[in-house]
Structure formats: structure tokens, C-alpha cells
A and B are shown apart, each in its own frame.
Chain A
């Protein structure tokens, strides 16, 4: 049964909350139950941002992600904060341009992507978050890439759609082909 509890975390301004929103919209379009819960407390004032997104075909109980199936981090403090929250066998996606160490745990899957470098090559450094989101969706298959792109087209700014699309595809290509 499709079910993902994802934490997106990084600095304010990296598009952390948007990543979560696009995934939630995509989940809704894929007929899943979804919830999106942002951090709005003191951590936000400190410049870090995170949100928890749940997509599942079952009823959503608590919107608070307490045991994540996937975590996407775009700074080092977030890796330190959320690594322990991943369930065993969970997926950690790291922007390796911004986080200078890998995960310490050995019971999780780690995908490191130099998202800043790749986004710059695509012509817009702001699209780094979409590269990571593309990788997440490709690896977890929680929704299809087509549905994700549709949700970005429907709910994102039209002027950024082409670069976001290329970023999503770039991220998806970075995911190693693994047996499930």
C-alpha cells in the first residue's frame, strides 16, 4: 500500500515548504490522503525551516511525522536533527553541496546529490529543491513523475515551470536503479 511520511528540512528561502506542498498536491491528485504540517515555531525564527508531509491510502491519524519513511535535508543542522527520526530502511536524500558529511546510520538508504551544482547547470540555482524532490518521488514511487509535474504546473508559478520540470527530471535520473 502506498504510504510515505516525509520530512523536508533546510534553511528558509530554499523552497523547503514548497517541496512539501507540491508533493501534497500531487498526492491529492493521485487520490491519496495527504497532510502538510510546517514548522512555525522558534526554529523558523532561527532561519531553519521544515515541514512534514504524509501521503497514504489510509486515513491520516496524527499529522505530526514522528517516524519518517523519507527525509530530505538541505543543510547540516537538519541532517543532525532528523537522521534519528528515519525508520530503519528509510530513505535519506542529502544535498551534498550543502551538507559536508553523510549520514551516520547504516540501516538506512542514503542518496547524495550535488543539487546546487546541478541546478546551476540548469540555469537556476533556486531549482535545487526540485532536483531533490524529483529524486524522492522517483525512488519512493509514492506518486508518478507525471502526476508530480502536473501538480507543479497547476500550483507553481508558470514562469518557473520549465526549469522546475528539467530539475525534477534531473533529480529522477540521479536515482540509482535499485531492485525494490
Chain B
């Protein structure tokens, strides 16, 4: 097995609690490895430390203790140069929750160009990257529009294009679908899946939406600053009781099948997809 793209060892992150002398632990002994090209979903309830974890990965925050290796480079090394830091931020792009607060320019294509411009890329190459990034997210026809006239899902796709134009190897989506309506959510999720599948970009998707987590290769549940569950969506969501204890729900279909099998009905309890569930149920009802 090759070296994992992201390797995190015994990460500790604290902040001073206003109400007590003790420090408040956001992350305690978090260790994780993420393979290149994988699609990982990080789940956790509010305050579980999942967003903090994301911000540590490109050094927006720095940990109190522990090591973070990105592509083999130790980014927690105090002697890391500023150039290394910017290279890390180029490799590990980040898309945030509020689409309005991450667009810089008054015209869509100028905003997408912002990242490559900061990297000092040649003008003709920027032009090429901007066009292809907008094409990838399906926003080419809006290239010369003003961002404030777009819908939430469209704005978020422009933000994603702005990251793609920097040619990252990994993109972290920090609750990027949380503020969108169902349609915008679907648009963004399709774009994310496409990037992972067609361009081999490693995706770390942070969310508390269970139905989105089902689409990932791997689900990591963070609770109380530690890895609580880790595995394929099927493996993770079969732990219905455990997830509930961590303050999380499971997808509705899974919950239905779990309750049915608890009541003595002979059905599998690891169904994640609604279509699959419907088929099994109708077959079972016909019996």
C-alpha cells in the first residue's frame, strides 16, 4: 500500500474555556489516514470537532499537539516555510458553508481566476484553467454574470470552480451543502461526485446530512473529538444504536429496516439506498 495522502497522528486541539480553568478539548487523540483518490465523509453533531479538523488540514488552525502529514510532508513542523504552506493550501483546497462569504470578485470568471492569480500563473494559462473549471462545474454560460444574482447552488459551484482552478489534489467541503435548498444540494453533490470519479480528486466531505454520507466510499464519525466509527457507509450505518448515542441519525430507509428487523421481521438491516429498500420491501410483501 502506498503512503496515505493525509495522515493525522494523535491530534489535540484545545481552546481556553471562559467558564472554567480547564481547557476545552475540541480534538483529543484524533488519528486518521486518508488514501489518495478516496471519497470520505466526516460526520458528527454540532461541536464534535469536525470543522476544526478540516481547518487543521490546511493550517488555517494549528494543533496543540500531534502530527499532520500531507503527501508525506509534516505540516506541523515549526520550521515549515511560507512557500511550503502555500503549496499545502494549493494541494488541499477548501470550500466553505456560506457561498456568499467566499466569493471575492464581482464577476464569476474573475472570481474563479483569483486562486491561480495568487499562485502567479501565466495569464493565458489562467484563462485556460478558468474556462475548464467553469466547464467542469457546469457554469460556463454564467462566466460573465455577477455572483449576487446566482442561486445558492450556483454560487457554491462557482466557489468549487475557484478551487479546481488551483489544480488541487484534495478538496475539503466544510458543510458546503448546509445552507442550500434540496436542488442546490443535489447540484453540489453531483459536482463533488464527478470531481472524485473523473478527476481522481480526493474528497473530504464534512456534513451532518446522512443521505449525503451514503454516497461516500468511507464514512468517519467524529464524536467528542475522537474517531468514533470508521468504515464503509454500510458498516457505519448498521450501528444504529451507537450512532444515536453520538447524537446522530441514520438515513430513514436504514432506520425503517432496522426497526423492522428489531420487531422480528426477517429483513437485512444494512439498507442505505431508497430504491434498493423499496425493491426488497415489495419483494417481501409479495411473499
Q: Do A and B bind each other?
A: no
Give residues in B with beta carbon < 8 Å to A.
none
